[in-house]
Structure 1
Amino acid sequence: MATEKGMSGLDITALTAELQEKLPLWIGKVFQYDSTTFGFRLNGEDKARYFFFAEIGRRAHLAPQLPPSPKNPSGYSMYLRKYLIGGKVLSITQKSIERVIIFEIGKSGGTFHLVLEFFDEGNIILADSGFLIQNALKKRRFRERDIVAGEVYDVMGLNRTALSIGAFEESLRSENRDLVRAAAVNLMFGGVLAEELCLRAGMEKEFPTRYLDEDQVQRLYAAYQGIIEDARSRSDPIIDQRGCWPFELIGSDPFSRYPTFSEALSSYYPLPSFDTKEEAKQQVLSREERIRRQQEGAIKKFQAKIQESERAAELIYERYTDVQQAIQVLDAASQKMSWQEIADLLKRSDHPAAAMIVSVNPADATVVLDLGMKVTIAIKKSVEENVAVYYEQKKKFRSKLEGAIRAMNRPAPKQKEKAVVKKRQKPKWYHRFRWFETSDGTLVIGGRDADQNEELVKKYMEGNDTFVHADVHGGSAVIVKGKTDRMDEVAQFAASYSNLWKSGYGSGDVYSARPDQVSKTPESGEYVAKGAFVIRGERTYYRNVTLGIAIGLATDPDLAVIGGPASAVEKRARYTVRLSPGTFEPNDIAKKVVRILRDRVSSADAKSAAGVLSTEAVAAFVPAGGSDLIDAK
């Protein structure tokens, strides 16, 4: 039965039978999501594709899909890919009725066995054709076996899914137990399936096995074979209040039924969620929240370590004689033989001290003893010294716990407000010309010289535009790109970027015309200079237009130096300086404007403005000729 803790051996029998029906298969991809979860993409015939998900120590099944592949593959998954990808799955078997699945995989380099263990903490082991271990996810040395490279993985033993009636009877009678306990332990059925065996055979579960007669054994054996067959055929996978089953048990009250056992397992064990990159972005925590969660986790960890250290010390004292005997035996043995020899000897020994030893650690001369929980003992220390080690650990973790609690209760320091660095305005195609935007948002462009005047009229003037020019020889050919109600601003722009400014006039006339009135074709006998145009037809005049511009620093939405008529610039710029025709040369006045604007800029904008506010940027908006400063805001 599959429960929240994990799958049983009989569940593995059912799953293995389901996988065998998919053969032949080929290994497509191998993924490792964390320390216990793996995904395998299996390719079948006729372009079939299967997703096998395994959580070692707990569950495995075919899934509708795998979680998103990790951005950075683990070292062990890369190792498995090297030897397995492209290999053909020759067989899928189970070790006896144990929670172990074995994939036999053939490649040009030979045959490999991929062993997945689903008992205790679980493991994934790669072995060669003779089951010689090549590598393991978790390398361990136990009293009964070693899971390290170079050792042989043991697949021998009694197959409890195919017992003869004689072996079946012997398994039940091997110990003086009642029927349900003998079936649960000796047949490895577990409690619930042992009770199912008794119900199917019509036997009392408390019946002593030593009194079984031939007829009762026959009935029990038939029930045993029926349970094994039901698991392999997966006749009716269900989920009930007790767990997930490959078939319906007597007295079950199913919540739901499924066509395959893997579908039932996928429903019972939903795939864990692993944050993708996008999800991680959406779940970014504040620094304070992240620290608080780390502190809460540390407090729980320290509390658990304190309890663990305290319990270990208590168990050592409770089993004082056993621990002392283990220390004495191992210390004496280490004087005469290597740790490898000691480990081999322990596997074969029936000494009481050997029965407690879970594993040996030659590097630091320690052993792990099973005293009700796993406790590490240093054999070069006395029992009291080993207890002192755990009390010292308890003291250390208690000190860390107190520090973590104090840190958590300490008020968080106030964060300094970070200066917001604003983005620069992106360059536009018209920025190489003179330009500004009217107060109602219409783009106005003017030529800087005769070449740009020619280019503007020939390339960029369109039917709905308006041509504007100061009524003087020499000035920007100005194009209004669209309709605007602020022709006063356009006229001031055209007058300011003309020879009127250079000549020191305070005002002048400006005219406008439609694009179809503008021509480069002169009258007979006349000549049109470069940058000049012939205007045919009636013009619209703007009389006595006041000359003047403003240069400013715009901060919203982007950072930029802008220039043009004061009413238009001051609407967009936070800091501005006004100019009028005067005496200072363009470069000198640009430097003065930069100094004034830098003094005006607030501390919040200073860092952003430093890279934008330059003499060159300001000079691009200063008219040709002398200028004076009027005021600044």
Structure 2
Amino acid sequence: MEPKRELSSVDLAALATELSRYEGAKLDKAYIYDEDLLRLKLRDFDRGRIELLIEVGEYKQAHVADPKRVPDAPGRPPEFAMMLRGRIESADLVSVEQYEFDRILVFEFERPDQNTTLVVELFGDGNVAVLDENGEVVRSMETVRLKSRTVAPGSQYEFPQSRLNPLEVDYDTLEARMEQSDTDVVRTIATQLNLGGFWGEELCQRAGIEKAMAIDDAGEAEYRAIHRELESLSEALKSGQFDPRIYVEPDSDEATEEESDQPLTAREKVVDVSPVALEERADLPSRAFDSFNPALEEYFYRLKEQQRREEEGAGRERPDFEAEIEKEKRIIEQQEQAIEGFEEEAEHLRRKAELCYERYDLIDEMLSTIQEAREAGTSWADIQETLEAGAEQGVPAAEAVVDIDGAEGTVTVDVDNERITLHALTGVEKNADRLYREAKRVEGKKEGAHEAIEDTRERLEAVKQRREAWEEEPEPEPEPEEGEHEEIDWLARENIPVRQPEHWYEEFRWFRTSDGYLVIGGRNADQNEDLVKKYLDKHDRFFHTQAHGGPVTILKASAPSEPSSPVDWPDSSLEEAAQFAVAYSSVWKDGRGAGDAYMVEPDQVSKTPESGEYLEKGGFAIRGDREYFRDMACRVAVGITCEDETRVIGGPPSAIVPKAETTITLEPGKFAQNDAAVKCYREFKSRFADESFVRKIASADKIQEFLPPGGSDLQGV
């Protein structure tokens, strides 16, 4: 049995109930780990320190954690974490809610100077969005631009389309939704009641209904039983009267339910966690907990330990079959939801067509009035004024008109609380026929979606078969240690170990030239000051762009702790340092393709201005002759290294491309720095088989550190 890696909507309903007990706590710090783990450290008057962990990557979950199991604070906080701290440090947590019945948690924080909303999306690729008081996105981990919704900085946050909440459904609505189906009971519950496959089966078990029963054979008795179980589940989730359980695969065939109150052992493999006891898991041993949060913490801690042991103990790289399986399951769920949407849309269109005939006289009068006016040469604006006047006089046909669009030749009417857009210059019959045809076209989409589901189910079965075949293969003999170094295809490797030591120069902009020399540059005026005062040694070289507004750039002859000695600088290193100085300057911001830079020796750089002049912070006086580098190209490359160290690197393409496993070259362009970083991140994820490796070492924030300020375009992507 595959273990659960994502919390369900039922889980989140219970979690929101428990997390609401921490309302009133004050936020101390926010941390980000590996682009997908958010840690919120809070203080509560009664409970003391509270550690809330939220994951939106491979695992999608949230829980309050024991401080002993919280990861150490990361070294340098990414930009997202710094922004979050600036908005919610010392803020009060005033509410925690689940959005409708979706896999979304909404945290509200209040502070005297500003209020902030944190929206955690635990579905799809996962996301965390930070909103201001007006619901506008300040920043999000992932930028989402879909036809149905947008989540991007500066835009109004859009929740996914509302769907039925089964925990609040009344009996009449439940009965109506069930009778719209043409499949079996369990699939009807899963789709029509928005509960998903597992809880569809669980509800059938609790209600004592055969899940494979055709919906045509079900009636009021079955519907009442389902509704009773839903009401019981809803009451438990809202009141917090839980029976939290972790379910495990039995150690042996002799494992019995008598063991259910025993603590977990290291041998047991966890497979599920739930806020309530599950009928569908009744054949598995379970471990009980006093509340849901500790159960969640223990479950995901054990689950990750299981995965770590499997990865360390494997003699060969195991493909991530589970991720593929979960992906195909998500696709099936989305396709089933799409079918439900097509059915609702088609039914809605048919209802509009029927209303055209039910209110034939009213609609015909309104359309005839418009058609006669147009034939007489009356403008659309005048027609609208006439109808507005008629509405004020109580003329029913005029009162029904909501809007007229002269450019499209349409009129929108409100008939029996239903808004219908009609072609103003055609009759009632033709409008109704058009709506019927549109309903038929939408229903046609449903057939295609059913075929797509079957294709997805075949892919899902194929993945499961590949997993079984892989597990049955014998372990390969280990390769001999001696001999030539084997070339590794890092892009195709399923599991890449992370090796990322920290270096003193990482707070600055940096790269190593193609000859191996370190180049460092300032990110701001303060760093420009520090570089000259603390890190510019007598055998180094100082570079700066000829244009105003650029980083202090130093080509280092040695590390700060090493003795400095003269260097016979290769031309390639000098040119790369000059190109670096140009690329990260205002030349890039201005969208120019090239610029000039100059080089001087350290003793030519001074903080003392000429008489009568003034030096701004981060500025320096240069005395003596300068060596110029003309028309240096505004190009940078960002890449990922896998040998020796695993990290993002960036700088002049001639220095970066040979060292990285894969690279992307950028030039001045239209995409903002953050958007360009996200595009690079997604492109890198698509190139590596081990997507989790990219998330860990090459997040969008880490890539952004190597991008020049200003707009960029990605070459060849």
Q: Same fold (TM over 0.5)?
A: no
Output the TM-score relative to the length of structure 1.
Answer: 0.43
